[in-house]
Structure 1
Amino acid sequence: MDNLSVEKQFEDTLKSVARNLDIKEYVQQSAELYPLFQRSAKRFVTGENKEDGVLAGDQLVHKGYRISLEFIGENTVKKEECVRAKDEFISLIRECGNQGLQSRISFDLSHIGLSVEPNLALRNLLEMAAEAEKYHLSLMISAEESGKTDQVLSVYKKAVAKYPNIGVTLQAQLYRTHDDIKELIKYSGAIRIVKGAFQEPPEICIPRSEKLDQRYLELVELCVKEGHQVSVASHDDGIYKQIIDRGYLQNPNVEAEMLYGIRPDLCKQLKDDGFPVRVYLTYGSEWYLYLVHRIAEYPPNIYVAITDMIQGANDTSALY
């Protein structure tokens, strides 16, 4: 078995682990495992409250980066918890606005009501967008599993028709995304393109491969040719080399975007070369799923995670 096959099996296994609630509960209740996983999470999560996220974000802004902030959470199934999440996002928006911190606010629709009732997610989204508009801030809807895509896009289209400060994220790995982008470039909101960290049925998605890289570049090109605002959300050196060679990243509507704690070296290199780079920061106590996904989408992170479990994570913001 070659290295790519082993890496693919490892990635698929971790994606399955991420969605296994029994394993999650076991880790969270384990006096031995929980502190170890929490050590690793500190590399990728700024802390457990918004003050941690805002502080880390402010430090990066002063270094010349753009930022995006998220209160971690998804698949919330109780209405009152969805409302509390919405209220936390409103509080985050006000904190950024009052401090003059030009952050994008990112979130999963399933965190604010999609898993309960799409209209609940829409109402909460509209309230958040109205508040963000007061401070000239933008929102970004994150990608979720393909089974939610139709609902996510339906809510997005209704909301962005009223508030153009809302963007949406699409997974390049899904075959449908090519047609989705052709439709979504008709709307005003920014588009963020990710490869996709979810374990999807093979008949609807492209596996990690050169074919997926080419599809990713095609999707970016569709946005660029239409003059649409797009975030190239990737940690892949090859992707960035291609978009720079093609002149895409030099376009004023295009930016690079990477997750906090992943490839700070590449972030700094691109920023120092004069390209716009946005760092996506998270905070909150629901870090377990986020951590496992970060390892699954870039398997070499398992070595970093194990090292952090043993030694503790360094100050991530210092790496930028």
Structure 2
Amino acid sequence: MNQQGFAVTIDYMGESTRDAEMAEQATQEFLNVIQAIAHQNLDSSISLDLSHIGMVIDAELGYKNACTLAKAAQNEGLEMMISMEGVDRTNLILEIHQRLCETFNNVGITLQAYLHRTPDDLERVLQYSGKIRLVKGAYAAPADHAKSRGAELDESYRQLMERLLTSRHPCSIATHDPALLDLASLEHAHRLIQEQKIEPDKIEFEMLKGVTSERLQAMKNYGYHTRVYLPYGREWHLYLCNRLAEHPPNIYQAITDAMKCGYG
């Protein structure tokens, strides 16, 4: 990917770890990834679920392990992106993110456009230095917490994207939904960036490996930083289910990617 001009986000897949030893093993695996990235001088970052490294066992364990990883990544000049999980974990994830940002400047956070609360959450996290990654959201949530899929969610994503872009905060526009990636939408984002004179180095576009790669190439051709999300690990079913939830036709691409990466 780097040879093709794309940065990479590496994610050792997993979440909801219920055993402290397994949480420590996951943390060590991420440390190994950080060391490998640094050793090979790759243009890459890591992404993780806090529940994979102990958050649901004990919030302090999750925070401690996240600190270990954030420090290791910062020492190597790397970014660590925190993924968002189910709506019942949003408050705790944001609290841990806030605590991490008090010590580290390389910790990013993911926000999900389908949650009603996200506009307020966005204003909250804009005060921290880490990158903000905007996704549509893939976890099941009741109607009083989340928008239904379709035009309403697409419009929510566009509005949040505009707010994020015009904030001039480092951000990652991360979606592979065709409704948001048609040429008109990409050109609208490009025009907005040009009209507002937003610094291109604060913006990146991120997509899953193998999904709508031609659209990512289009944004690269515009001169923007582009990134490929590359998950690996035995818990491939999480990857498959999330891709299906975000956009059902992606099941075929998710299966193909999983087979190519050797999952299962």
Note whether the superposition's TM-score is higher than 0.5.
Answer: yes
What corresponds to 1:192 in structure 2? Answer: 133
**Match status 1:158 vs 2:158:** no
What corresponds to 2:229 in structure 1? Answer: 280
What corresponds to 2:167 in structure 1? Answer: 226
What corresponds to 1:242 in structure 2? Answer: 188
User: How does 1:203-222 map onto structure 2 within 5 Å?
Assistant: 203-222=144-163
d(CA) in 2 for partners of 1:70 and 1:222?
A: 27
**Match status 1:141 vs 2:82:** yes
- Of residues 54, 60, 65 in structure 2, which corresponds to 1:124? 65
Query: What amino acid is aligned across from residue 230 of structure 2 in structure 1?
Result: L
Query: What amino acid is aligned across from residue 106 of structure 1 in structure 2?
Result: S
**Match status 1:263 vs 2:212:** yes
Three-state SS of the structure 2 residue aligned to 1:277 is strand
Cα deviation, residue 271, structure 1: 2.0
Cα deviation, residue 284, structure 1: 0.8
Cα deviation, residue 102, structure 1: 2.4
Query: What amino acid is aligned across from residue 100 of structure 1 in structure 2?
Result: N
Query: What amino acid is aligned across from residue 33 of structure 2 in structure 1?
Result: L
With over 3 angstroms needed to count, the CA separation of the structure-2 counterparts of 1:314 and 1:126, relative to structure 1, is closer
d(CA) in 1 for partners of 2:62 and 2:261?
A: 35
* 1:217-247 deviation line (CA, Å, top 9, x unaligned): 2222222333211100011314434312322
Q: Rg larger in 1 or in 2?
A: 1
d(CA) in 1 for partners of 2:33 and 2:44?
A: 10
Query: What amino acid is aligned across from residue 209 of structure 2 in structure 1?
Result: Y
Bigger Cα displacement from structure 2, 239-248 vs 162-171 = 239-248
Runs of 4+, deviation exceeding 6 Å:
none
Query: What amino acid is aligned across from residue 68 of structure 1 in structure 2?
Result: T
- Of residues 173, 196, 214 in structure 1, which corresponds to 2:114? 173
Cα deviation, residue 190, structure 1: 0.7
With over 3 angstroms needed to count, the CA separation of the structure-2 counterparts of 1:116 and 1:90, relative to structure 1, is same
Structure 1: 5+ residue stretches without partners: 1-59
Cα deviation, residue 251, structure 1: 3.2
d(CA) in 1 for partners of 2:166 and 2:219?
A: 22
Cα deviation, residue 209, structure 1: 2.4
d(CA) in 2 for partners of 1:78 and 1:100?
A: 33
- Of residues 43, 48, 59 in structure 2, which corresponds to 1:102? 43
**Match status 1:299 vs 2:219:** no
With over 3 angstroms needed to count, the CA separation of the structure-2 counterparts of 1:315 and 1:109, relative to structure 1, is closer
Three-state SS of the structure 1 residue aligned to 2:110 is strand
With over 3 angstroms needed to count, the CA separation of the structure-2 counterparts of 1:315 and 1:61, relative to structure 1, is same
Bigger Cα displacement from structure 2, 284-293 vs 129-138 = 284-293
Kindly, what percent of the aligned residue pairs are identical?
A: 35
Query: What amino acid is aligned across from residue 295 of structure 1 in structure 2?
Result: L
Query: What amino acid is aligned across from residue 186 of structure 2 in structure 1?
Result: Y
User: Could you say which structure has the greater relative contact order, defined with CA pairs below 8 angstroms and 6 or more residues apart?
Assistant: 1
Three-state SS of the structure 2 residue aligned to 1:70 is strand
TM-score, normalised on structure 1? 0.74
Query: What amino acid is aligned across from residue 50 of structure 2 in structure 1?
Result: L
Bigger Cα displacement from structure 2, 202-211 vs 275-284 = 202-211
TM-score, normalised on structure 2? 0.89
With over 3 angstroms needed to count, the CA separation of the structure-2 counterparts of 1:274 and 1:206, relative to structure 1, is same
d(CA) in 2 for partners of 1:233 and 1:303?
A: 20
Cα deviation, residue 176, structure 1: 0.4
Three-state SS of the structure 2 residue aligned to 1:106 is strand
With over 3 angstroms needed to count, the CA separation of the structure-2 counterparts of 1:251 and 1:214, relative to structure 1, is farther
Cα deviation, residue 250, structure 1: 6.7
Query: What amino acid is aligned across from residue 261 of structure 1 in structure 2?
Result: G
Structure 2: 5+ residue stretches without partners: none
Answer whether contact 1:250 1:275 (CA < 8 A) is retained: no
What corresponds to 2:202 in structure 1? Answer: 253
